[in-house]
Amino acid sequence: MDIQRYQQYLNQYVQDAIRNSDGTVAGISEQLEGISPPGRFSRHREEKQRAQADARAAFNEHRHWPLDILLSHLGVDEAGRTA
């Protein structure tokens, strides 16, 4: 697995979910659950699947954490969250 691609997809999934949600951890979690998994012939499928699974798990398990701490825990860039 390519760690750089994994981190790129993790950033992308979380930032897209933030943009399309109400900004709460619960709203972001709902958006992440709505993302369809990559198809069988998708490029970088393993990295995408792992990034989705890790993002979903973090937002589901840590709903009581503040958003900035949760983003830091995942290693996601906070700069994109205000866009």
51-78 pLDDT per residue, tens: 999 999 999 998 888 888 888 888 887 6
In this prediction, residue 79 carries a pLDDT of 57
Domain limits at 14?
3-82
- Secondary structure of residue 20 in the 3-state scheme: coil
Structure tokens at 2: 């390519």
Q: For all residues of the chain together, what is the average pLDDT?
A: 85
Q: What is the pLDDT of residue 57?
A: 92
The total number of structural domains that make up the chain:
1
